[in-house]
A and B are shown apart, each in its own frame.
Chain A
């Protein structure tokens, strides 16, 4: 005999699980349904045309996302160039070399860094890092892709460190023991055995860091200057997709072409991060094993 409470509670919990899937599907649906009118009105072409994002232009507004895509790429790549080597090295140290007290000391620091709000990091970039960069490179303004890349790299670091450490720790002890028993040093064991064995997990950590970097909004909004022109170098001002949405979201007219174009940008951003996260998810499942 199953009571009504019993049945009701089961139904509630199943609903909670289902709701999570529904939310994800709902986000995709809302993005699609709101960007469709824009895509139907303009077609896909204007969003990738070789002009600029200028929806407010009198007479002939243009909606090209191309320069913002370049901006996102520039900031993300710059961030990863710095964050992946540092993050993986830190993870290798934490997982393989650090003494217990070192781990106790450094791990909370990584977590606190992960918790720093992006707007605070953006503020720091704006008032400290930007003037410094302007002085070092002799620029008029330090609000550049370079500045954004450093700060977004800092944001991605904790993700990369935590997940890469998990991946390295998950390598079975047998791998290390075999290497050490054959006369390998610890250094050789780390670089030739453990890290290659954890490679798919480490790649996944880099990809999730990349996902964060692509989607990061407030920091880049505050520190990259937000020029819609095509960036030539790392020392140019750029506007990323996420920042582009954030700038316009406040005063866009509901259901205008501009409104729908913003959702096209959002959809693009969602699809890119979704693909990156999915790929990372698949990589994370591939763990090294020992047959016993």
Chain B
């Protein structure tokens, strides 16, 4: 009897160890999917950095394109992207923060707030080219801005709105309830509470959302195709009504539309590297800022 029980125990043990090795193989298989993600990103970044780095120098970053865009730099595209993202932020951040304040501080949670939140999520899912169509119809034609920095900036602003709303709401939610209750108990009005107690603590989180929005807007091409981006401009945009060159559009042009594609490939690589570096740095800044912010919240500060 005893030996039988013992041998059964041994069989069970054996099965268990078999299971453990299966498990290890399985875990490694799952881990490999993440390694694959890392590899994909690594290959893309390596290719663009290794072939783009040689092109980048002071002249490339500070000179306009010359000789039918086969020589020179990408300065106007950098400036254009900077201008258009500034307009985007000016449009999306006040509106996004305002909506988040409404959702988190003012509204009674119910059907209407559910509808607003659902709209935010659905707005985030609207294809970027549909934003392009919308911007062309409303800002370029109906409002009569024409293809311009402001039309493109507003279009991109709509596109980044869900990013700023979501990030701002998260930031507001991390402010403890007790802070608000304490101020109300001292006789403060709602706006005083929001302005002096809630907003100051939520600023880092809102800043994170702003940077993420910037990164998103800087990299988008489809919405600006027909709302203001230009193939080539001899001078920098001088008002919000002028057309502009933009980094992502410039990359698109240099890699698919230029008459001497293979000759300008190095310039395309350089543009891709500048754009990738810009967007990645912005995203990285946002991730680091958020991490510091969350750690601070977790510590209860």
Contact = CB atoms under 8 A, between A and B. Distances in A.
Contacts of B48: 120, 123-124
A108 B280 CA distance: 11
Given A93-B31, A187-B23, A246 B225 contact: yes
A87 B33 CA distance: 8
Contact of A185 (B19, B129, B226, B252): B19
Contact of B222 (A93, A115, A218): A218
Contact of B33 (A9, A21, A90, A214): A90
Interface stretch (B60-68, B72-80, B96-104, B233-241): B96-104
Contacts of B120: 20
Interface string A132-156: 0000000000000000000000100
A5 to B, nearest CB: 6
Nearest to B30: A93
A249 B137 CA distance: 11
Contacts of A89: 29-30, 33
Given A117-B275, A250-B226, A215 B38 contact: no
Contact of B126 (A27, A218, A246): A27
Interface of B is mostly: helix
24 contacts: A16-B101, A19-B99, A20-B119, A34-B133, A86-B37, A89-B30, A106-B38, A109-B37, A110-B37, A116-B219, A119-B251, A120-B48, A120-B275, A124-B272, A161-B37, A185-B19, A187-B19, A217-B222, A222-B252, A245-B133, A249-B133, A249-B226, A250-B226, A270-B126
A21 B116 CA distance: 6
Interface of A is mostly: helix
B116 A123 contact: no
Interface string B8-27: 00000000000110110011
B95 interface: yes
B242 interface: no
A108 B287 contact: yes
Contacts of A16: 94-99, 101-102
B179 interface: no
A108 B125 CA distance: 22
A274 to B, nearest CB: 6
Interface of B: 19-20, 22-23, 26-27, 29-31, 33-34, 36-38, 40-41, 44, 47-48, 94-99, 101-103, 105-107, 112-113, 115-116, 118-123, 125-134, 136-138, 141, 158, 161, 165, 189-191, 194, 215-216, 218-222, 225-226, 248-249, 251-252, 255-256, 265, 268, 272, 275-276, 279-280, 282-284, 287
B255 A112 contact: no
Contact of B190 (A10, A157, A218, A266): A10
B127 A216 contact: yes
B102 A17 contact: yes
A117 B221 CA distance: 9
A212 B124 CA distance: 10
Interface stretch (A46-54, A228-236, A276-284): A276-284
Contacts of A262: 133
Given A20-B165, A154-B40, A208-B125, A31 B27 contact: no
Contact of B221 (A118, A154, A208): A118
Given A89-B33, A117-B248, A270 B123 contact: no
A116 B222 CA distance: 15
Contact of A21 (B119, B158, B283, B284): B119
Contact of B283 (A10, A90, A111, A215): A111
A58 interface: no
Interface in A90-122: 90, 92-94, 97-98, 106, 108-113, 115-122
B282 to A, nearest CB: 8
A281 B118 contact: yes
Contacts of B41: 109, 112-113, 116
Contacts of A97: 27, 30-31
Nearest to A22: B119
Given A3-B189, A27-B126, A127-B265, A13 B121 contact: no
Contact of A186 (B23, B96, B141, B218): B23
Contact of A120 (B30, B129, B191, B251): B251
Given A17-B102, A274-B122, 5 more contacts: A6-B191, A16-B95, A21-B115, A119-B275, A187-B26
A200 interface: no
A106 B23 contact: no
Contacts of B128: 118, 215, 217-218
A20 B161 contact: yes
Given A115-B283, A211-B125, A250-B225, A123 B251 contact: yes
A273 B222 contact: no
B189 to A, nearest CB: 5
A215 B129 contact: yes
Given A6-B191, A17-B116, A266-B133, A273 B125 contact: yes
Contacts of A218: 128, 221-222, 248, 252
Given A12-B98, A20-B165, A93-B33, A254 B141 contact: yes
